[in-house]
């Protein structure tokens, strides 16, 4: 069951025309990690990605299919950090490929959650991430000093790929950063909601509640994702 393939395909199709740079992963590019959340004071910041109530979208999709190719890379859609001079809308999308999804559904659910939680273990120096999972937001305060020392999306993408590499069965990760202000952030935001809804739907099904498709609000999802309905029926019987 590939929960996210449609979202992955849509995201790549939508963002490919906006791509300004791509960098194949090189471990030497990965930005140093602070090891824990650091505080960047307002007086030391250059700007905030997603600041001033602008968009700050984040989601992570995991697949074992070729919807994500085997090359780890960072993809930038829009200007890089050194060319940004004020708060702006922003998105970071992680597409992670694994060699196989876990064999049992419970393990698979855990696998998806493990990938989604990687972001809480990435603390690039000078790049203060504030996540708000309930709003699907990832706002970032960027240090002026870090930019002066070479901080870029290439190095931040490298830091995230380095962290995803620790996942079991890891094959590749694509980290997409969107700073092009003409991008449709509303559509990206809806994708983030959709990713969250799919993980929650899987969780609900695994809880073993009886299947009642006629009155279930997840019906569109189960119509689209092969195997969801069979899984729920199996679970409800067990
Ligand atoms: S199988 Fe039916 S009841 Fe179960 S989540 Fe899907 S639509 Fe809902």
Chain segment 125-143, per-residue pLDDT in tens? 999 999 998 888 999 999 9
For residues 165 and 186, state if they share a domain: yes
- Scanning 64-184, the segments in alpha helix (DSSP H) are 105-117, 144-148, 153-164
Residues 150-163: what's their mean pLDDT?
Answer: 98
Separation of alpha carbons 64 and 170, rounded Å: 9
Separation of alpha carbons 28 and 174, rounded Å: 17
Separation of alpha carbons 185 and 178, rounded Å: 9
Per-residue pLDDT of 204-228, as tens digits, reads 888 777 778 888 878 888 888 878 8
- The lowest-confidence range among 69-83, 86-100, 106-120, 168-182 is 106-120
Residue nearest to atom 2 of ligand 1 (CA): 213
pLDDT reported for residue 194: 93
Assign residue 105 the CATH number of its domain.
3.30.1650.10
pLDDT reported for residue 1: 62
For residues 216 and 133, state if they share a domain: no
| Atom of ligand 1 lying closest to residue 229 CA | 1
Q: Which residues, listed in sequence order, are joined to residue 97 by a DSSP beta bridge?
A: 63, 172
| Atom of ligand 1 lying closest to residue 213 CA | 2
For residues 146 and 68, state if they share a domain: yes
Q: Which residues, listed in sequence order, are joined to residue 45 by a DSSP beta bridge?
A: 143
Domain count, the chain: 2
Question: Do 87 and 141 form a contact (C-beta atoms < 8 A)?
Answer: no
pLDDT reported for residue 145: 98
pLDDT reported for residue 59: 95
For residues 19 and 122, state if they share a domain: yes
**How many other CB atoms are found less than 10 A from the CB of residue 88?**
20
- Region of 50 (left: φ > 0; alpha: ψ -120 to 50; beta: rest) is left
90 or 114, which is more confident? Answer: 90
Residues 150-168: what's their mean pLDDT?
Answer: 96
For residues 89 and 150, state if they share a domain: yes
Determine if ligand 1 sits within 6 Å of the CB of residue 216: yes
Which residues, at least 6 apart from 7, have a Cβ–Cβ distance to it below 8 Å? Answer: 59, 61, 191, 194, 195
C-alpha separations of 84 from 79, 149, 181 in Å? 7, 15, 11
Per-residue pLDDT of 35-88, as tens digits, reads 999 999 999 999 999 999 999 999 999 999 999 999 999 999 999 999 999 999
For residues 199 and 221, state if they share a domain: no
Does 169 score more than 80 pLDDT? yes
């Amino acid at each position: 069951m590939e929960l996210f393939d449609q979202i992955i395909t849509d995201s790549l199709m939508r963002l490919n025309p906006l791509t300004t740079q791509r960098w194949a992963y090189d471990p030497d590019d990965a930005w140093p990690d602070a090891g824990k959340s650091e505080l960047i004071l307002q007086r030391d910041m250059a700007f905030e990605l997603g600041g001033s109530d602008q968009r700050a979208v984040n989601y992570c999709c995991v697949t074992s299919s070729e919807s994500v190719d085997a090359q780890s890379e960072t993809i930038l859609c829009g200007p890089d950090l050194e060319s940004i001079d004020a708060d702006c809308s922003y998105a970071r999308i992680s597409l992670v490929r694994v060699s196989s999804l876990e064999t049992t559904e419970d393990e698979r659910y855990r696998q998806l959650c493990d990938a989604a939680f990687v972001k809480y273990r990435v603390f690039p120096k000078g790049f203060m991430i504030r996540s708000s999972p309930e709003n699907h937001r990832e706002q970032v305060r960027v240090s002026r000093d870090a930019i002066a020392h070479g901080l870029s999306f290439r190095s931040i993408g490298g830091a995230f790929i380095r962290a995803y590499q620790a996942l079991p069965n890891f094959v590749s990760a694509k980290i997409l950063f969107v700073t092009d202000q003409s991008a449709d952030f509303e559509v990206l935001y809806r994708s983030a909601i959709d990713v969250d809804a799919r993980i929650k739907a899987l969780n609900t099904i695994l809880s073993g509640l009886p299947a009642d498709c006629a009155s279930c609000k997840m019906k569109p999802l189960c119509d689209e994702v092969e195997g969801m309905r069979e899984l729920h029926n199996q679970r409800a019987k067990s």
